């Protein structure tokens, strides 16, 4: 059976959520963060030398990186309507958001979270994060105008990827006092609330709870 290694309070929730949406049976292996450093425990290093979550084991196959794991599951078990057909404009949009969730959209979130976690007070860095937050949240807000989801107005794995980045920014995925100006972006807030209504998201929240 598919083994999903879940680092509690981490991006591995994405993979549990996608498996729930697709109805794939899985075994959830929970790893607890070190309470002092918030880093992954040695049990995760036994699965991958990077000791990062998410990581899955599918028989002998080990797959890392959230977006790669999502696409692996869609390749292996069928798209379930969660990924547009290759070569279409919708697929380019999908590929864009899958990548963006862990790159451009994630930069301010990581800077902000790490500043809070390490209690460092570097004003230049914080100013950079705030500027990037504004640009990126405006971008998501505009992309949602007139639609409920990011790609072709249909729920897809790209929403699973982007949701978690935005929930980190909002301080709901990992309960840290982040500084993202979520209150300026009503479409983004409504989008998060909409996704949290999904039964598969709610099962995931229960299964992954700290
Ligand atoms: N881009 C990677 C990021 C992986 C990553 O940094 N995971 C974090 C969890 S949110 C982690 O495992 N941190 C534990 C550590 O670095 O000790 C992905 O999307 O899978």
CATH number, domain of 131, equals 1.20.1050.10
Say if residue 107 is in the same domain as residue 183. Answer: yes
* Residue 182 per-residue DSSP state: G
Say if residue 110 is in the same domain as residue 35. Answer: no
Expressed as residue numbers, the domain containing 69 is: 2-81+202-208
CA 115 to each of CA 32, 65, 128, 155, 159: distance values in angstroms, whole numbers, following the listed order: 22, 23, 12, 33, 27
Cα 52 to middle of ligand 1, angstroms: 4
Calpha distance 170→110 (Å, rounded) = 12
Say if residue 155 is in the same domain as residue 97. Answer: yes
Say if residue 112 is in the same domain as residue 189. Answer: yes
Residue 120: per-residue pLDDT: 85
Number of domains making up the chain: 2
Say if residue 75 is in the same domain as residue 118. Answer: no
Say if residue 49 is in the same domain as residue 113. Answer: no
| Residue 13 Cβ < 6 Å to ligand 1 | no
Say if residue 101 is in the same domain as residue 185. Answer: yes
Chain centre to alpha carbon of residue 162: 6
Say if residue 115 is in the same domain as residue 194. Answer: yes
Say if residue 106 is in the same domain as residue 161. Answer: yes
List per-residue pLDDT tens for the chain, 210 residues long. Answer: 999 999 999 999 999 999 999 999 999 999 999 999 999 999 999 999 999 999 999 999 999 999 999 999 999 999 999 999 999 999 999 999 999 999 999 999 999 999 988 888 788 888 999 999 999 999 999 999 989 999 999 999 999 999 999 999 999 999 989 999 999 999 999 999 999 999 999 999 999 998
| Residue 18 Cβ < 6 Å to ligand 1 | no
Q: The domain spanning residue 73 has which CATH number?
A: 3.40.30.10
Residue 112 contacts residue 169 (beta carbons within 8 Å): yes
Residue 177: per-residue pLDDT: 92
Residue 168: per-residue pLDDT: 97
Say if residue 93 is in the same domain as residue 7. Answer: no
Cα 69 to middle of ligand 1, angstroms: 13
Q: Which atom of ligand 1 is nearest to the CA of 53?
A: 12
């Amino acid at each position: 059976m598919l083994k999903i290694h879940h680092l509690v309070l981490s991006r591995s929730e994405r993979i549990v959520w996608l498996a729930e949406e697709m109805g794939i049976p899985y075994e959830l292996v929970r790893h607890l963060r070190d309470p002092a450093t918030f880093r992954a425990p040695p049990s995760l290093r036994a699965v991958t030398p990077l000791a990062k979550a998410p990581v899955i084991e599918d028989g002998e196959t080990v797959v890392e990186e959230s977006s790669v794991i999502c696409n692996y599951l869609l390749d292996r078990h069928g798209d379930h309507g969660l990924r547009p057909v290759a070569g279409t404009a919708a697929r380019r949009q999908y590929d864009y958001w899958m990548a963006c969730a862990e790159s451009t959209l994630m930069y301010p979130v990581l800077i902000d979270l790490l500043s809070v976690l390490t209690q460092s007070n570097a004003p230049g860095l914080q100013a950079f994060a705030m500027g990037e937050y504004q640009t990126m949240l405006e971008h998501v807000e505009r992309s949602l105008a007139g639609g409920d989801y990011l790609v072709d107005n249909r729920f897809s794995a790209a929403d699973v990827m982007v949701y978690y980045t935005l929930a980190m920014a909002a301080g709901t995925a990992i309960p840290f006092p982040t500084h993202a100006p979520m209150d300026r972006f009503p479409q983004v807030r409504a989008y998060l609330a909409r996704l949290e209504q999904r039964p598969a998201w709610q099962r995931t929240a229960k299964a992954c709870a700290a």
